[in-house]
């Protein structure tokens, strides 16, 4: 099995765990900004430690920073930070797995952004898979509790807005992160991925930390007060992000994000069996379409 597929599956699973933990923080003790910052603040030292250990064990030299690295890394970091806040805000509007599914508009947007920014096209079979998955996202954006409203009011709602905004921003971050990794010269894929990840995490921790200090000063102390859950959030964030970054180093962002829809299966299981959230027939149809999309991407991935 190609390494980028293994890394993506691992990343999707860890990301799902991280969103479960962030959901808990959001609905119990922290604001949207606080729950978002908890991820970065506790992940940053773990990423730095992992990078130093891997470099020492592997005996490699530091990669050389090429042209465009800082623009890609900083842009990706800010886009991912804002996208994460959108997802956290979604948790109070729709049930858990529908909120995560709405953000999967990132798949089709990543393909478009990757083509425009990096000139990376995808195969026709993957485009079909992305299209099927996007239909599933549109189905899931129709709230079942609002069936009496006009179609436009049901589709174009606040939850859909958060989902589509996060999808666009996650798409931008994915392409920018791949651009940053490709801008590093020397070193293997894990080393370059870890270096780019550390850069992004430091930017995110400092930027959002400054925002909280100025606008929500109590949230920083609240994050550290909830260290038991916040530290686990940071750990799962670090592990998941390493998986994503390694995958981005080896494959185009569109392929990685398309396969990353497997996260929806993990999310569905958490939602149904742990959170005990009810599922409507429309939501099941949407999930089925996305599963079909995932199968097509996985089939295409083994042929790349």
Higher pLDDT, 271 or 208: 208
Predicted local distance difference test score (pLDDT) of residue 93? 62
Predicted local distance difference test score (pLDDT) of residue 85? 85
Predicted local distance difference test score (pLDDT) of residue 199? 97
- Taking the C-alpha atoms of residue 24 and residue 229, their distance in angstroms, rounded to an integer, is 8
Q: pLDDT band at 281, cuts 50/70/90?
A: confident
The mean pLDDT value for 76-101 works out to: 76
pLDDT averaged over every residue in the chain: 84
The mean pLDDT value for 265-274 works out to: 71
pLDDT single digits (tens) 24-65: 898 888 998 999 999 999 999 999 999 999 999 999 999 999
**How much of the chain exceeds pLDDT 70, in percent?**
83
Predicted local distance difference test score (pLDDT) of residue 161? 74
Predicted local distance difference test score (pLDDT) of residue 304? 54
Predicted local distance difference test score (pLDDT) of residue 69? 97
Total of domains in the chain: 1
Q: pLDDT band at 92, cuts 50/70/90?
A: low
Enclosing domain of residue 173: 3-301
């Amino acid at each position: 099995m190609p390494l980028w597929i293994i890394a993506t599956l691992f990343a999707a699973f860890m990301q799902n765990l991280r969103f479960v933990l962030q959901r808990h923080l959001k609905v119990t003790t922290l604001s949207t900004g606080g729950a978002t910052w908890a991820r970065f603040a506790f992940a940053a030292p773990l990423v730095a430690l992992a990078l130093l250990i891997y470099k020492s064990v592997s005996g490699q030299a530091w990669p050389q920073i090429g042209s465009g690295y800082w623009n890609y890394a900083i842009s990706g970091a800010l886009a991912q930070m804002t996208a994460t806040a959108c997802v956290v805000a979604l948790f109070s509007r729709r049930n858990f797995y529908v909120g995560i599914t709405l953000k999967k508009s990132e798949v089709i947007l990543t393909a478009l952004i990757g083509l425009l920014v990096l000139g990376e096209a995808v195969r026709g079979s993957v485009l079909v898979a992305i299209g099927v998955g996007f239909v599933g996202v549109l189905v899931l954006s129709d709230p079942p509790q609002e069936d009496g409203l006009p179609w436009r009011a049901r589709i174009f709602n606040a939850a859909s807005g958060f989902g589509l905004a996060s999808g666009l921003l996650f798409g931008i971050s994915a392409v920018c992160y791949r651009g940053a990794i490709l801008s590093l010269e020397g070193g293997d894929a894990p080393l370059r991925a870890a270096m780019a990840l550390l850069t992004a995490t430091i930017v995110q921790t400092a930027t959002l930390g400054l925002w909280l200090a100025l606008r929500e000063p109590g949230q920083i102390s609240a994050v550290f007060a909830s260290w038991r859950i916040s530290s686990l959030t940071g750990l799962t964030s670090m592990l998941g992000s390493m998986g994503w970054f390694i995958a981005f180093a080896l494959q185009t962002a569109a392929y990685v994000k398309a396969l990353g829809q497997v996260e929806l299966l993990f999310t569905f299981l958490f939602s149904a069996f742990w959170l005990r959230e009810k599922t409507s027939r429309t939501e099941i149809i949407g999930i089925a379409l996305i599963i079909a999309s995932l199968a097509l991407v996985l089939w295409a991935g083994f042929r790349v």
